[in-house]
Amino acid sequence: MTDSLKTTGRGPERPPCTTIGVLVPAHFQQELQDRCSHLGVQLLPYDPLGVPGENASGATALFRWWISPEAGDRLIEEHPLRWIHTGSAGVDHILTPRFLSSDIILTNSAGVHAPSIAEWVVTAMLAFTKGLPAMLDQQERAQWEKVERDELVGKRVVFLGGGQIAREVAIRLRPFGMHLKAVTRSGAGDACFDESRGPADFLEGLQDVDWLIVAMPLTAETDGFVNARVLDALPAKARLINVSRGAIVDEAALITALETGRLAGAMLDVFDEEPLPAHHPFWKMKSVLVLPHTTWRSPLVRQRQLDLFIDNLGRFVKGELLRNVVDVTAGY
The domain ranges of the chain are 20-112+299-318, 114-290
Distance, in Å, from the CA atom of 60 to the CA atom of 78, rounded to the nearest integer, reads: 11
Closest CA to 126 of 149, 109, 148, 145: 149
d(CA 103, CA 114): 29
How many whole angstroms separate alpha carbon 129 and alpha carbon 76?
A: 48
Express each pLDDT in 242-255 by its tens digit: 999 999 999 999 99
Nearest to 71 by CA among 96, 91, 89: 96
- The radius of gyration computed from the CA coordinates of the chain, to the nearest angstrom, equals 22
φ, ψ dihedrals at 5, nearest 5°: -105, 15
Q: Which residue ranges in the chain fall short of pLDDT 50? A: 1-7, 15, 17
CATH number of 114-290: 3.40.50.720
pLDDT of residue 254: 98
pLDDT of residue 18: 62
What pTM, to 2 d.p., does this model score?
Answer: 0.91
Same fold, 20-112+299-318 and 114-290: yes
pLDDT of residue 4: 40
Cα–Cα dist 218/161, whole Å? 11
User: For residue 316, what are the CA distances in angstroms to 3, 13, 81, 90, 210?
Assistant: 21, 8, 12, 21, 45
The pLDDT tens digits for 207-225 are 999 999 999 999 999 999 9
Nearest to 37 by CA among 45, 46, 29, 27: 29
Cα–Cα distance for residue pair 232/199, rounded to 1 Å: 16
CB 331 within 8 A of CB 91: yes
Instruction: Give CATH superfamily name and number for 20-112+299-318.
Output: NAD(P)-binding Rossmann-like Domain (3.40.50.720)
